[in-house]
Amino acid sequence: MRQITLGRTGITTPQNAFGALPIQRISKDEAVHLLRKAYDGGMTYFDTARAYSDSEEKVGEAFKGMRDKVFIASKTMARTTEEFWEQLETSLKTLGTDYIDVYQLHCVPQCYKPGDGTGMYECLEEAKKQGKIRHIGITAHLIQVAEEIVQSGLYETLQFPFSYLASDREKKLVEDCIAADMGYICMKGLAGGLITRSEAAMAFMTQYDVLPIWGVQKEKELDEWLSYMDETPAMTDEIEAFIEKEKEELSGEFCRGCGYCKPCPMGISINDCARMSLMIRRAPTAAWTTPHWQEEMEKIDTCIECRQCAEKCPYGLDTPALLKRNLEDYRKVIAGEITV
Ligand code: SF4
Ligand code: SF4
């Protein structure tokens, strides 16, 4: 497994990191077991967030007494200086540590800069000065915000979606980020479930100096990622051809699940619902036909055609039309008129 250094943070870790969002859905014992197994298997970088309910607590419990052996990244959704300090103190306490290796402003709506009047960047600098955080990071979901962050040169890491389905614009973002000596941390390396061949996802990542954090909830998922520590999949002609085929299959009118178009005034979960036809065919169907998802899908009927989503979609999708086509297909699947 390649080692990756996250830009000027100097943090060096195997190119195979643990995303601790999904562990909020399992018990504490199970989560601690997975985290320790990940560490024993060679993972040293663990990414959590204040917003992931009890994930920080589980991470803290797993690495009690061995804090110096792992890198812990967390995030804050704070948008005011008061919230920032309150959330940072809570994270430190919950994680049972006196420092966080990479502290990231979470899912930002803008690139916070010194002197912009919000005080957010100054908080990060002060927290670093106090030794409560070691490096300043940021996560975004909007490509234009991510590009501004890279151009600003203010942050030591950027976390943004990246997978083999990335557009040329997203690939350029990665290149610019690395050229600016910022660490690039990839979320959604499996495109939110659309990619089901982990070996191809991993082989793709090895071509870039990026750090993928794989969301882990089940032991068999973890085992798959850990198996790549010794035998890292390389990009082969076969995998390259497979990725090309995937891109063709998923080209044009398909929703990447990026969420750039959110929020919807009617509360429609666009980034899930606009790609439901793909999800029920590519991912285990049962997970997407639960009463919860049926209810979410039926919300499409409340769409007021405001077209805010279509205007924001960087892939030029006619999102309201795509949602309607997905709903039509979904209803047929639920009614048993189509077998997937
Ligand atoms: S067009 Fe429909 S789906 Fe899109 S933002 Fe407006 S209400 Fe939501
Ligand atoms: S409709 Fe477009 S912006 Fe919205 S989630 Fe899908 S790809 Fe992203």
Same domain, 277 and 194: no
Of the residues 243, 260, 281, the one at which a domain ends: 243
Is residue 220 within 8 Å of residue 198, measured between CB atoms?
no
Distance CA 13, CA 1 (A): 10
- Taking only the tens place, the pLDDT of each residue in 155-197 is 999 999 999 989 899 999 999 999 999 999 999 999 888 898 9
Our answer on whether the CB atom of 270 is closer than 6 Å to any ligand 1 atom is yes
107/170 same-domain check: yes
Do 237 and 283 lie in a common domain? Answer: no
Q: Tell me, what's the pLDDT at 251?
A: 66
pLDDT reported for residue 233? 96
Please tell me if the CB atom of residue 317 comes closer than 6 angstroms to any atom of ligand 2: yes
Structural domain of 323: 270-334
Judged by average pLDDT, the poorest of 69-78, 88-97, 240-249, 324-333 is 240-249
Query: What is the reported pLDDT for 43?
Result: 98
Please say whether the dihedral angle defined by the alpha carbons of residues 247, 250, 252 and 255, taken in this order, is positive or negative. negative
pLDDT of residue 260: 78
Same domain, 167 and 311: no
Average pLDDT over residues 18-39: 96
Same domain, 20 and 111: yes
* Distance from C-alpha of 100 to C-alpha of 85, rounded to nearest angstrom: 13
Distance (angstroms) between ligand 1 centre and the Cα of 266 equals 7
Residue 284 has pLDDT above 90, yes or no: no
Please give the residue that has the higher pLDDT: either 259 or 210: 210
Ligand nearest to the CA of 303: 1
Dist. CA 202 → ligand 1 center (Å):
35
Q: Does the beta carbon of 274 sit less than 6 angstroms from any atom of ligand 2?
A: yes
Q: Once rounded to an integer, what is the mean pLDDT over residues 27-37?
A: 98
Looking at the structure, tell me whether residues 185 and 77 fall in a common domain.
yes
Question: What is the 104 CA–ligand 2 centroid distance (Å)?
Answer: 24
Residue 281 vs residue 15, higher pLDDT:
15
> 235 with 314, same domain?
no
CATH code: domain of residue 239? 3.20.20.100
Same domain, 229 and 311: no
Task: Give yes or no for residue 165 CB within 6 A of ligand 1.
Answer: no
Boundary residue ending a domain (208, 243, 278) = 243
State the average pLDDT for the chain.
94
Nearest to 58 by CA among 90, 35, 92, 87: 35
Q: Determine, yes or no, domain membership for 264.
A: no
Average the pLDDT over 35-53 and give the result.
97
Distances (CA, A) of 18 to 22, 42, 106, 188, 288: 10, 11, 17, 12, 24
Model pLDDT, residue 65: 95
Q: Please tell me the predicted confidence (pLDDT) of residue 314.
A: 72
Residues 217 and 98 in one domain: yes
- Tell whether ligand 1 has an atom less than 6 A from the beta carbon of residue 138: no
Do 75 and 112 belong to one domain? yes
Within-domain flag for 258: no
pLDDT at 240: 96
**Cβ neighbours of residue 63 under 8 Å, at least 6 residues apart?**
35, 39, 46, 69, 70, 72
How would you label 250-275 residue by residue, b for 16+ Cβ within 10 Å and e otherwise? beeebbbbbbbbeebeeebbbbbbbb
Residue ending a domain, among 243, 262, 278, is: 243
pLDDT tier at 217 (50, 70, 90 boundaries)? very high
- Residue 321 CA to ligand 1 center (angstroms) comes to 10
- Residue from 163, 169, 258 whose mutation best tests the ligand 2 pocket (most atoms within 8 A of CB): 258
Domain membership flag for residue 13: yes
Q: Is residue 110 part of a domain?
A: yes
Q: Which atom of ligand 1 is nearest to the CA of 308?
A: 5
Residue nearest to atom 2 of ligand 1 (CA): 303
The share of the chain scoring above pLDDT 90, in percent, equals: 84
Residue 262 lies in a domain: no
pLDDT at position 8 is 97
Ligand 1 contact via 320 beta carbon (within 6 Å): yes
Q: Is residue 39 part of a domain?
A: yes
* pLDDT, position 252: 66
Per-residue confidence (pLDDT) for residue 334, from 0 to 100: 94
Name the residue with tokens 């610019």.
176
Tell whether 231 and 280 lie within a shared domain.
no
What total of structural domains would you count in the chain? 2
- In this structure, is residue 257 part of a structural domain? no
Residue 253: pLDDT over 80: no
Q: How confident is the model at residue 109 (pLDDT cuts 50, 70, 90)?
A: confident
Tokens of 67: 């804090």
Q: What is the pLDDT of residue 117?
A: 96
Cβ of 256 closer than 6 Å to ligand 2, yes or no, is yes
Residues 294, 198 share a domain? no
